[in-house]
Amino acid sequence: MEKKSHFIKREFLQREVPLVLLGLLLVTVLLLNGLLYLYLNNFYGSSGRADTDPSLCPFGYFKLGTAKNCSPWLSCEAINKEVRKLKCVGEGAVKKVFLSEWKENKVVLSQLTNSELQEDFLHGLKMLKALQSKHVVRLLGYCEKQFTILTEYHPLGSLRGLNETLHMPKYKGLNTWHRRFTLAIDYVSIIRFLHSSPLGTLVMCDSNDLDKVLSQYLLTSDFRILVNDLDALPLVNRSAGVLVKCGHRELQGEFVAPEQRWPHGEEVPFDDDLMPPYDEKTDIWKIPDVSNFFLGHVEGSDIVRLHLFDIHAACKKKDPAERPSAQEVLDTYRKVLTLLIREAAMPGTREML
């Protein structure tokens, strides 16, 4: 009798426990899924909220590091008195860039090098002032009459050094498809920001080859991307029929968009007056190449590439009007990231879903 009831109980347990466990497992999977959605939504934010940064100050002010209060942009006087140049850390066509010190902060003083490029310099400064946001390097001050700009210092420098940075022992752990894809998403977010900026649709013209593109952006110590060089950002105004040209010289090569190349064949010599203008879709054409650089060759990057195949093919449409907007590319990138994270967190869900 006793033996029998014991037997029944065991049989019951043996059959029911796996069922209960299975139920619990299902509930857990569903809960995790929900949490992941919430987390990702929070983390990547909606497009409107993502551009406001709580550490930002009102126009004309800045805040550095852990400072509590916003300070006004430094004036010529303050820059001359309080900023000490330490060493040159970069030089482009327009500016020479010095690591400097201001009140025990590392800052960057950029100086015009070529007086013929005053206009570009001043345009860059105007843009830097107007576009201060979480996507743009922080402006700390400027002196127009001396052609100097003071910005925050980012020790990892421009994106040109990304490969080297990711191979340093300190950052090796960040050399994953996930980090690299997050950088690509950051980059597309910046293009989206420029294409729908407070000033209108701006085209990133300093972008005739990959190296040039990379040198316009900085890598922050927490591995985010900021746009730094805003010297060549012309405005497209579609309703007014205003298009742009990136410079007045002939552009060549596969990196620039087809509509940026001379359309009249080799027999006709290049003439800027005969060169048709174009719009911001040139930036979209370049996204797959820049993303490919970000993705690099680590475990998992080819799976990301596979998921981006269709959107990248759309970016490379010959007709600019057929290319997606930066917002559409961004939405697709974020969807792919969510999908891949979910798959990485719960291997096997691919078969279940």
Ligand X SMILES: *[C@@H]1O[C@H](CO)[C@@H](O)[C@H](O)[C@H]1NC(C)=O
Ligand Y SMILES: Nc1ncnc2c1ncn2[C@@H]1O[C@H](COP(=O)(O)OP(=O)(O)OP(=O)(O)O)[C@@H](O)[C@H]1O
Nearer to ligand X, 29 or 303 (CB): 303
**From the CB of residue 201, how many other CB atoms can be counted at a distance below 10 Å?**
19
For the chain, what's the residue count? 353
Q: Does 240 bind ligand X (CB under 6 A)?
A: yes
CB 73 within 8 A of CB 142: yes
Which residues on adjacent β-strands are paired with residue 83? 102
If we measure between CA atoms, which residue out of 195, 103, 197, 109 comes closest to residue 149?
109
Query: Judged by CB under 6 A, which of 28, 55, 80, 237 binds ligand X?
Result: 237
Going residue by residue from 155 to 174, which x/- string records binding to ligand X, judged by CB under 6 A? --------x-----------
How buried is residue 338: exposed, middle or buried, by Cβ count under 10 Å (0-12/13-18/19+)? middle
Nearer to ligand X, 68 or 297 (CB): 297
Least distance CB 198 / ligand X (angstroms): 9
Q: Which does 115 bind (CB under 5 to 8 A by kind): ligand X, ligand Y, none?
A: none
Residue type for position 80: N
Nearer to ligand X, 211 or 310 (CB): 211
Least distance CB 96 / ligand Y (angstroms): 7
Nearer to ligand X, 51 or 101 (CB): 51
Nearer to ligand X, 147 or 278 (CB): 278
Candidates 75-83, 179-187, 233-241, 259-267; binding stretch for ligand X (CB under 6 A): 233-241
Instruction: Read off φ and ψ for residue 90, nearest 5 degrees.
Output: 180, 155
Residue type for position 166: L
Q: Which does 200 bind (CB under 5 to 8 A by kind): ligand X, ligand Y, none?
A: ligand X
Q: Does 297 bind ligand X (CB under 6 A)?
A: yes
What residues contact 58, with CB distance under 8 A and at least 6 apart?
70
Q: Is 43 left (phi over 0), alpha (psi -120 to 50) or beta?
A: alpha
Least distance CB 296 / ligand X (angstroms): 4
Q: Which does 97 bind (CB under 5 to 8 A by kind): ligand Y, ligand X, none?
A: ligand Y
- CA dist 276 and 248 (Å) reads 11
- Residues binding ligand X (CB under 6 A): 163, 200, 237, 239-240, 296-297
